[in-house]
A = this chain, B = another copy of it.
Amino acid sequence: MNIEMIRAAADRLDGRARVTPLLSSPFLDDLAGRRVLVKAECLQHTGSFKFRGAWSALSAMDGATRANGVFAYSSGNHAQGVALAARLHSVPAVILMPSDAPAVKIANTRALGAEVVVYDRATESREEIGTALAAERGLTLVRPYDEPLVIAGQGTAGLEIAAQARALGVSEAEVLVCCGGGGLTAGVALALEAEAPRMRVHPCEPQGFDDTARSLDAGEIRSNPSPSGSICDAIVTPAPGELTFPILKRLCGPGYVVGDDDALRAMAQAFQRLRIVTEPGGAVALAAALTRSKADTVIAIATGGNVDPTLFTRALETL
């Protein structure tokens, strides 16, 4: 992985992915006691940054391979990103989703034209189902994070952050990233290493699913005790990736860990102060910006906004 791969991904994404705005509010600055900038990736196509990596991967495949179709497993945001990227390339997509994924994510993935295969996390192995499906139908797996082309695509958000912050006169900041497997975190860290070396990336995770923070502390990969059970479904993964972790270890940390209540309160602040919709797993970086960071300037990525209305209403009740 290197910066040239991210720049090449940016060329492929040009005119396809949205350049999402870097938002701010004097009210958030007051609340946090520091300057807070929010990169609104919830406004990206499909409502999360995942479209970047999916488009990066599909657009780099050779045409014949891509034409056979692609395959992904995901609780929902990678699913939608791959589904839309496949639709825009007019190739089939099969997505394996756990039965406890948010309803809106399953519905959206289907509506984007993908074939959704639902499995039971407790009793079935997605790897087994996936391997069989892929072999049988000649599909190419698009990994959610441990894939260089995906990391490069997610890293384009970092190139935008560097340029947008520079336009505001900001060159030094903590950059907080909602972190699951670490694809976005690694990509953004690589982009900023090249473009804004005085910014340091801190992965942000929910309590109980802080595998990345613990792995960074330990200097080696640690796993989560439980595979599911957080409202932050988008960023619950077993452990940092084999490709992403060495990048995180070299460039990022320490990690910030926030409670579910902090995430819900951050969603409410994003609603009221920025007028954007975030999901819990997309709001943990803003939550950390409001409650954990001690930097003068903090840039939080609002990574996703695919949330069921009842959960969003619960967040609003914190206001």
Contacts and interface: CB of A to CB of B under 8 A. Distances in A.
Interface of A: 15, 18-21, 23, 26-27, 40, 42-43, 47, 84, 104, 108, 111-112, 167, 268, 271-272, 274-278, 305-306, 309, 312-313, 316-317, 319
Most B CB contacts (10 A, CB to CB) among A26, A47, A104, A305 go to A26
A15 to B, nearest CB: 8
Nearest to A282: B275
A153 B280 CA distance: 36
Given A42-B275, A313-B313, 9 more contacts: A15-B167, A21-B21, A26-B84, A26-B112, A275-B277, A275-B278, A276-B277, A309-B317, A312-B316
A54 B193 CA distance: 39
Contacts of A43: 21, 23, 40, 274-276
Copies of this chain present: 2
Given A309-B319, A312-B271, A27 B104 contact: no
Nearest to A112: B26
Given A312-B271, A313-B316, A111 B27 contact: yes
A271 B316 contact: no
Contacts of A268: 309
Nearest to A42: B275
Contacts of A15: 167
24 contacts: A18-B21, A21-B21, A21-B43, A23-B43, A26-B84, A26-B112, A27-B108, A27-B111, A40-B43, A43-B274, A43-B275, A43-B276, A104-B272, A271-B277, A271-B309, A272-B309, A275-B276, A275-B278, A275-B305, A276-B276, A277-B277, A309-B316, A309-B317, A312-B316
Contacts of A27: 108, 111
A36 to B, nearest CB: 14
A241 to B, nearest CB: 27
Contacts of A306: 275
A306 B43 CA distance: 18
A108 B273 CA distance: 10
Contacts of A278: 275
A23 to B, nearest CB: 6
A112 B27 CA distance: 9
Nearest to A274: B43
Nearest to A309: B316
A274 B317 CA distance: 22
